[in-house]
Structure 1
C-alpha cells in the first residue's frame, strides 16, 4: 500500500473548506437562508407573515419577485436589503 503525503497547503485548504461548511451550518440555524432564490412558503416562514401580507408586498412593489411556470421566487438578498433599509435605530 502506497503512503500519501499530506502537505501544510493541503491542511490549510482543508481548514478553509471546513470553516466555510461551518459558516453555512450556522447561518442555516440562525434562519438566514443560504439559497439565492426562495419560494413563497420559505419567505412567509422566514418573515413570519401571512399569504395576504406577502401578496401585498408584491402588489405594492415593496418586494421584487420572479415568476416562472406559476411559481413565485424571491431573491434572498432583496429580502435582506429591504429589511436593512427599513431598520429603525
Structure 2
C-alpha cells in the first residue's frame, strides 16, 4: 500500500470535507432509524466549525482532527461507515 502523503490528519480533514458536502442537503428529519440519527449527529458535530474568520476550511478541519482523541476519530469513522451503508441501502430499496 502506498503511504498516505497528507498524513492521518489530512485524511480525516478530507473525510470531514466529504461529509460536509454529502450531508449539506440532508437533515435529521430525513433519517428514520434512531441509530442512524445518532451517527448523523456525531458526524455533523465533527464537521461543524463554529468560526472560520477567513480561514480555509481544510486548515480548520486539519486542526480539528488533531484536537480529536483516537477514540473520537474511531467513533467518527464508525459513524461515517454506518451512514454510508444506511444511505446505500435506502437508495437500493428505493429502486425496487
Please say whether Structure 1 and Structure 2 have the same fold, judged by a TM-score greater than 0.5. no
- TM-score w.r.t. the length of structure 1 is 0.29
Q: Which has the larger radius of gyration?
A: 1
The answer to which structure has the higher helix fraction is 2
Query: Higher relative contact order by CA 8 Å / sep ≥ 6: 1 or 2?
Result: 2
